Every structure is written in C-alpha cells, then in structure tokens.
Amino acid sequence: MGRVHAGQRVRVTVDAFPDHPFSGTVGQIGSLMGRKTVRSGDPAEKADRDVLDVLVDIDQPDPGLVIGLRVTVSFLE
C-alpha cells in the first residue's frame, strides 16, 4: 500500500468493455482499513482480508461505467 499515492496513474479494465481500457489517476485514498464488502465470486477468494478504499478519477468517463461495476485496476509508475 505504501507505493500507491494520490495522483498516481492507473489503467482500468472492465469485462463489459474488453477492448477499451480506461486511464485515470488516484484521487483519494481511504484512511482506515476495513472489511472487504465486494466479492468476486471466486470460491478460493479470501474473505477475511482487510481492504483500503481507493477512489480513481477516470480521464474520459463512459456512461456505461456505473457505480458498483466490477473493474480491475492496475497501478502504474
């Protein structure tokens, strides 16, 4: 977590848009570790892990990117 910082560039991929990765920046990092609230559906996924919320500002948002949509974020730099 020490390598993630505000302003850091990210690449966001979404299953719904397989040929269109989105770019953005880390806008805000939470200040409190908490329980994982989103599940991937993978039976091997660890459910007891704590997470830290990170908000990403998408450079060119798409109306199809709705709140709650599962995405994969790659932190660059």
Tokens of 3: 């390598």
Q: Which residues contact 6 (CB under 8 A, 6 or more apart)?
A: 25, 26, 27, 28, 29
Strands of the sheet containing 22-29, edge to edge, are 54-58, 22-29, 9-13, 72-75
- Asked if residue 39 has pLDDT above 70, the reply is no
pLDDT for 18 equals 87
- Asked if residue 41 has pLDDT above 90, the reply is no
Map tokens 């559906």 to a residue: 41
pTM: 0.77
The pLDDT of 60-68, averaged and rounded, is 87
The pLDDT of 4-32, averaged and rounded, is 93
pLDDT for 70 equals 82
